[in-house]
Amino acid sequence: NAGVTQTPKFQVLKTGQSMTLQCAQDMNHEYMSWYRQDPGMGLRLIHYSVGAGITDQGEVPNGYNVSRSTTEDFPLRLLSAAPSQTSVYFCASSYDRLSYEQYFGPGTRLTVT
Amino acid sequence: QQQVKQSPQSLIVQKGGISIINCAYENTAFDYFPWYQQFPGKGPALLIAIRPDVSEKKEGRFTISFNKSAKQFSLHIMDSQPGDSATYFCAATLGRGATNKLIFGTGTLLAVQP
């Protein structure tokens, strides 16, 4: 049981480039979410999904897109990277939208120059 | 808008001492208050959690104290060990059928000196 996995671990982008951060879980969890972690600001919710085909915005969704075609995968897309998106990104999952415990992946450290 | 305020930002404690981290919240609709522990290079992991119908919850050396009237809760780490050195986040979430979206505090970096 790998839990929540994220790839890549590190990424450097130039302003304006696009990329996709991958997230997968093998626990058959319905609920998945993306957070960004910035110094002094804790973790902030970007987007979340309560099941395949259903996504919604969190606290800081601008500049990011998501889709959920399968239960296992929840990729996060940056369409045109900006320096303000330099951050550590965490994917998390829980059994369903009402479950309180969320399981976090190891994170992706993204730098936009 | 920071709905969960956490202090201190950093904390240094001697081995065997008590570490105390405080959080305050604004939204009285929150009904679940977890603490997450994060080691360098890792994702956060649930440490302990409490609901507002109890004033204290203890798991081993970790205790949450909850003051509903003051809208405050705190994490106490008894007999702190160097292995407890990590960043700790308090959080809050709405329950009662609402989708579980965690609102995190800003984090406390704890260093336990040997």
> Has residue A52 got a pLDDT over 90?
yes
What is chain A's mean pLDDT, rounded? 94
Put simply, the chain B residues between 7 and 66 with a CB less than 8 A from any chain A CB are 9, 32, 34, 36, 41-46, 49
Round the average pLDDT of chain B to a whole number and report it: 93
Interface A-B, measured as beta-carbon pairs within 8 A, has a size of 63
Distance CA B35, CA B31 (A): 14
pLDDT tens for each residue of A101-112: 899 999 999 999
Among the partner residues A92, A100, A103, nearest to B32 by beta-carbon distance = A100
Query: What is the percentage of chain B residues whose pLDDT exceeds 70?
Result: 94
Amino acid letter, A62 = N
What local confidence, expressed as pLDDT, does residue B97 receive? 57
Reported as a single tens digit per residue, the pLDDT across B66-110 is 999 999 999 999 999 999 999 999 999 876 556 678 899 999 999
Question: Which pLDDT value is given to residue B61?
Answer: 98
* Shortest Cα distance, chain B CAs vs residue A14, angstroms: 23
- Name the closest residue on chain A to residue B41, using Cα atoms: A106
Q: Name which residue leads in pLDDT, A55 or B2.
A: A55
Residue A101 contacts residue A94 (beta carbons within 8 Å):
yes
With beta carbons less than 8 A apart as the criterion, state whether A99 and A31 touch: yes
pLDDT of residue B98: 60
Looking up tokens 């890549």, which residue turns up? A8
